[in-house]
Amino acid sequence: MTKHNPYTFKRDGTGEKIACRNEAYWKEMSKKKYDLLLKRSDIPKFYWGIEFKDYKGDLSKESLKRAIKFSQNCFTSEFDYVNLYLWSEENSSQKTAVACNIGKECIKQGKKVKFVLAGTLADRLMKNQGFNYHEEIEAYLKNLKEQDLLIIDDVFDSKKSLVWNNSDLVVSEWDRFLRELCSSGIKIVMTSNVSLSSIKTKFGASIYALIERNFYPLGFKDSIKKYRKKMFANIFDEEK
């Protein structure tokens, strides 16, 4: 990469030498900062090159528009204590891709973002509950609370993590942890295959009330399965 200086010099109308901002340098520094924050975010590399414009389907255009608006404005006063709950009743609905793009947009704004799997987080909350104390887990949880935006993927999905089958214990810890995050003002984007209305039935009134009060639900109905199958077919057809 070409090395640039932060400022260049030119002469004004009187012949005096003046310093000018070197846009190439600042663009290079901005790119380096973005790359560093992106790596630290733990957003899966699969989503690094996928953008909002790559969303497939027309059934959830309004949800996508609202997600984009949130990504661009979530740190303004208008969105104080507003979080997102991205849901669908099936896999491959592009929820995680949308959540990761919200994260990448926030990284462009210089914000600290962290991507976590809900099952992994719930498991660590369970291990650290009560009188148990794990220094490594405590440091992990402390780091999450220091982020500007937290992406929690696959919440409440017992097919992705068996920890959700132990609902009474995990939900009590989940409730406590979410309350801490919400009260601190950290932005949260959660994805789930459980609709907001189903949370009350499956996991109880308390956690439902907490999420219903603090999260705006966005449903995604488009599936990317057929596009992936077509992509795979094209790849292998090229080898014929």
- pLDDT, one tens digit per residue, over 134-148 is 888 889 999 999 999
Q: How far apart are CA 170 and CA 7, in angstroms?
A: 54
Question: What percentage of the chain reaches a pLDDT higher than 70?
Answer: 92
Taking Cα atoms as reference points, which of 122, 136, 196 lies closest to residue 164? 122
Query: Does residue 16 sit in helix, strand or coil?
Result: coil
> Which CATH number goes with the domain that contains 133?
3.40.50.300
Q: Looking at the predicted structure, is the pLDDT value of residue 99 above 80?
A: yes
The whole-angstrom separation of Cα 85 and Cα 76 is 19
Residue 35 lies in a domain: no
Q: Identify the pLDDT of residue 215.
A: 96
Q: Report the pLDDT value the prediction gives residue 234, as an integer from 0 to 100.
A: 81
Number of domains in the chain: 1
- Look at residue 212 and tell me if it is in a domain: yes
85/58 Cα distance (integer angstroms): 20
| Residue-wise pLDDT tens digits, 28-37 | 778 889 999 9
CA–CA dist 235, 10 (Å, integer): 53
- Specify the higher pLDDT residue, 239 or 211: 211
Q: What is the DSSP string of 174-229?
A: HHHHHHHHHHHT-EEEEEESS-HHHHHHHH-HHHHHHHHHHEEEEE-----HHHHH
CA 42, chain centre distance (Å): 10
Task: Share the mean pLDDT of the chain.
Answer: 88
* Angle (CA) 69 205 141, round 5°: 60
Please give the backbone phi and psi of residue 155, each rounded to the nearest 5 degrees, phi first. -70, 140
- How, if at all, do strands 149-155 and 113-117 pair? parallel
pLDDT of residue 125: 87
Q: 41 falls in which pLDDT band (50, 70, 90)? A: very high
Is 203 among the domain residues? yes
Average pLDDT over residues 60-86: 96
pLDDT at res. 29: 75
- C-alpha span between 86 and 63 (Å, rounded): 9
Domain containing 84 equals 58-237
Give the pair of three-digit tokens for residue 89: 């009743």
The per-residue pLDDT for range 180-208, each reduced to its tens digit, is: 999 998 999 999 999 988 999 888 899 99
Residue 13's pLDDT band (boundaries 50, 70, 90)? Answer: low
Residue 163 · residue 170 · CB < 8 Å? yes
